[in-house]
């Protein structure tokens, strides 16, 4: 992989990381507002089931985004360590088409199957 290609992946990953962070913050804001609204509406009767449902819906989306962000950050660290694009299992170069689609890919296609 050339220096230039590496830079392209790096900026792609940095952009992804910021996008995920922005999405997490948006969801956390919406979650807070909706939870506050529900608590207000339910008043003393306390419709807690509705509140819990709303929190869970966002919680799983937020969790997924956090996990993706961790993968992106790990890929950025591999760029800094000079190990980007190498499969964590077999050490071979990950197919460039795969990296183009999933810049934070950790494994080659063959090894990815073992981790799913
Ligand atoms: Zn592999």
Each residue's pLDDT tens digit, 17-56 = 999 999 999 999 998 888 888 777 766 555 666 666 666 7
pTM over 0.85: no
Q: How close is the Cα of 24 to the center of ligand 1, in Å?
A: 31
What is the reported pLDDT for 39? 77
In percent, the amount of the chain with pLDDT more than 90 equals 71
pLDDT at 109 over 60: yes
- HEC sequence for 77-99: HHHHHCCCCECCCCCCECCHHHH
Q: How close is the Cα of 93 to the center of ligand 1, in Å?
A: 8
10 Å CB burial of residue 14 (0-12, 13-18, 19+) is middle
Q: Which residues make up the environment of ion ligand 1, defined by Cβ < 5 Å? A: 87, 89-90, 108, 111
């Amino acid at each position: 992989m050339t220096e230039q290609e590496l830079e392209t992946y790096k900026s792609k990953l940095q952009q992804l990381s910021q996008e995920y962070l922005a999405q997490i913050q948006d969801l956390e804001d919406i979650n807070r507002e909706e939870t506050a609204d529900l608590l207000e509406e339910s008043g003393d009767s306390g419709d807690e089931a509705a509140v819990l449902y709303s929190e869970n819906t966002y919680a799983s989306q937020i969790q997924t985004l956090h996990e993706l962000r961790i993968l992106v950050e790990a890929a950025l660290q591999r760029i800094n360590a000079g190990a980007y694009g190498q499969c964590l299992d077999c050490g071979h170069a990950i197919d460039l088409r795969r990296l183009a689609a999933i810049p934070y890919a950790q494994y080659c296609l063959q090894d990815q199957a073992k981790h799913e």
